[in-house]
A and B are shown apart, each in its own frame.
With several copies, the nearest count.
Chain A
C-alpha cells in the first residue's frame, strides 16, 4: 500500500457555521469536506444538541499542508473569537493523491 502524505483538519463547532465553513473550505482550495452531527462540552459549556440552537458539527477536511494551513488560519481569525470552536490537525496518508 503506497500512500501519499496529506493533512487532516478536524473542526468541531456550532451547527450555525456549517454552511459558511463548507463554502470557505472550498474557496480556500479543499476538494471536499465531510460533516457529522456531534455533541460535547468545552470551555463554552455543554452543547447537548437537544434543540436547534444547540447543535454542534464535526467537519473533516483532507488536503495539502498549505491548503489545510490556510483553512486553519482563516478559521482561527474569523470564527474562533466569537464561536465555540475546537480544531486540530493530524497527518494522514491517501492512496489517490490527486483527489485531495
Chain B
C-alpha cells in the first residue's frame, strides 16, 4: 500500500477513535489549491507535444463517458434505491463527475510501479467535471414542477469554480511555459507533490471518518451503491478506454476517473442548483464509502481490470 494511503488511514482511524484532531481549514484549502495547480501543470507541460488529431476524438469520448455515467446511475438509484428524483439526480451527478484526489492517488500508484500513461490525462479530468453535473440536474428536474434551473448561474458556478479554474489554469501555464519554463518552480510543485497529497489524504481521512456515522442513517443500499457503482463505472470506463486505444496505464486511469465520485465541484454546484436534494446523502456516499474504497481497494482492482481487458483484447 502506498505511503500516502497510510495517511488517509491515520486520519480515518484517529476520527473513528474519537480524536479531535483537526487540520485548519486554511491548510485544507491551501493543499487543495496546490494539488489542482500541480496536476494541471504537469498535464499542460506534456500537452505541448500532442497532435490535436489524437487528443480531439479522445476528448469527445471522455465527455460522452461523463454524460453516460449519470444516465446509468439514475435509474438504479430510483428503482433499486427508491430515492426521490432530487436525491437520485444529485447522487448521479456526484458519481458521474470526478474526484481529483482519487486521480492523484491513481497516478502515484502508476508511477510507483513504473507504468506509463498518456501524460495529458489532466485534460480529461477537466472535461469530466461538468457534464455529469448538468445531466444529473436535468434528470432530477425533467418534468418536475417548481422553479426552472438557472443555467447561467450554474455554468458560472461550475466552470469558474475552484477545480476547473485551477486545473485549466495549471494546464495553460504548463503548456505555455513548457518543460524548461517550469524548472524554477519544480521544487515546489513537483518534488513536494506526494508529500502534499499525503497531508491532504490525512485531512480526507478525518473528514471521511466524520461521515461514517451518518451512513447508519441512510442504510445498506447506500453502502452497496457506494461500492458497486464505482466498479460498474470502472468497467464502463475500461470499455471506453479500449475503444479509445489508450495505453494500459491510461485505461486504468480512465477507469479510476469513471469510478471516482466528486466531492468538491459537485456538492457546491448542486447545493445551489438542486437544493431539494439532501446533501448529507451524497457526501456520506462519496466521502464515507466510495473515496475510501477507491484509494484502498478500488485502484488496485481497476488496475487488474485494465489488465484483464488488455488480455481479452489480445493486446
Contacts and interface: CB of A to CB of B under 8 A. Distances in A.
A53 B206 contact: no
Interface in B263-279: 263-264, 267-268, 271-272, 275-276, 279
Given A50-B207, A51-B207, A83 B267 contact: no
Contacts of A52: 28-29, 264, 267-268
Contact of B275 (A19, A51, A82): A82
A49 B275 contact: no
Given A45-B280, A51-B203, A53-B267, A16 B25 contact: no
Contact of A83 (B22, B25, B207, B275): B275
Contacts of B268: 16, 52-53
A50 B275 contact: no
B280 A50 contact: no
The 9 closest A-B pairs by CB, nearest first: A82-B275, A16-B271, A53-B267, A51-B207, A82-B276, A50-B22, A51-B28, A53-B283, A16-B272
B210 A48 contact: yes
Sorting the interface of chain B by its residue count into under 10, 10 to 19, 20 to 34 or 35 or more gives 20 to 34
Contacts of B191: none
Interface residues of A, number: 14
Interface of B: 20, 22-23, 25, 28-29, 203, 206-207, 210, 214, 263-264, 267-268, 271-272, 275-276, 279-280, 283
22 contacts: A14-B271, A16-B268, A16-B272, A19-B20, A45-B214, A45-B280, A49-B25, A50-B22, A50-B23, A50-B25, A50-B28, A50-B207, A51-B25, A51-B203, A51-B207, A52-B28, A52-B29, A52-B267, A52-B268, A53-B263, A53-B267, A53-B271
Interface in A4-34: 14, 16, 19-20
B210 A50 contact: yes
Contacts of A19: 20
Interface in A33-84: 45, 48-53, 55, 82-83
A22 B246 CA distance: 47
